Structure 1
Amino acid sequence: MSLVRRAALHGALSDPARLRIVDTLTLGDASPSELARLLEMPSNLLAHHLRVLEREGVVDRRRSEGDGRRTYLRLVRGALDTLGPPALRPAPRVLFVCTANSARSHLAAALWRRASEIPAASAGTHPAERINPGAVAAATRHHLPLPRVRPRHVSEVRGREDLVVTVCDRAHEELDLGADIHWSVPDPVPAGTTAAFDDALEEIGRRVDDLARLFA
């Protein structure tokens, strides 16, 4: 769906009264008189809002099979499905990149494997010798399987069709990776505390879940 079309839908729902109408019709169909009564809204005002919603293809109406003088309003199936951002390009794998490939990128890849069937990998711009113990401990606390693999440079790992997600500012800014997505997640390694690693894991987890939904 085009950006202009999405903007029109958002505009149609920007009025609180129209949003109330949509919320009410989410539960079931209703006649205009029933809607007016449920929402305690004057019929002329309701008619105005319904014209906007019908014009944008959010609501339609059908004639009653009982009383032919009555119509029932209903949400158009799928009309609101495209309000969010457009789906991402198909990708055979998601590659998470940070600087040392010792914490955030490994945690991101592990969280992704739990959220999606699309394969994931991780890499760094300056790989460390090993995965940081704080990342291992955080994964253990949250029952997150974390493969014990050595950190690797992005040039060794990156595939042509990978969807690249940088999870640290330095990696994003240091090299022209052509990253598809960037997440500015604070590095937990300098602090080295349980809270720092848990905070990073929680933030990455939220972002992973949001991204995985775009592939659904």
Structure 2
Amino acid sequence: MRMQKEKENKRLRFLGEWMLCGKKRRAVKQEAKAAGPTLPEPWQMRMSSLYDALCSMREETAASAAEASECRAVCERKAEETASGVLYAASAERTRLAAESQRGKNEKKRKQQEQSRQFAESGREEREALRETAEKQRELNEMERILRESVREDEHLAFAEEMKTFREYINGLCVSSAEAQMYELRRETERLKREIGALAEALRGSETGENPER
């Protein structure tokens, strides 16, 4: 673009010098005309035709210069419009990428909150299982008390032995059921802890610019 402008300036400078020379030639011609003819008639006609041709060429050159200037203005305007369009497209792309990144972060945060909620629910289920076990133990104690009060004194020892065996059997069932539930709840809790830790690490990596899939 700069080289084209320099060429156009050189051409316009040459055109100006040419027009100045034309003015000088017209002044010389007018002086010669005032002084009287100095050349034969055929030569004067030939010089006049040459002068007319030069004037026509000068007018055509001026028109071409005006057209070139207009074309240059149009090209510069289109270049500016293209540059502004490219900048707008780049800005829109950056905005889209930022929005996608924010949506990804929000989705990871939502998953982390969901895992935390599931972990809290698993803890609540564990507490509920312990409460049910305690209630069963209280019921067993109450039943033992009622049976102990209802037996006769002479059958007390035999009934106490049977009650001990029955209590050990019931306790074994309760403990086995509670231990199985506790084992399943612990295993689920450990799994949820690992998943929450992985999600937290991925979220920290995405916020610091690292690879979130690492």
TM-score with structure 2 setting the length:
0.19
Q: State the structure with bigger RCO (CA 8 A, min sep 6), 1 or 2.
A: 2
More helix by share: 2
Q: Which has the higher strand share?
A: 1
Larger radius of gyration: 2
Q: Give the TM-score normalised by the residue count of structure 1.
A: 0.19
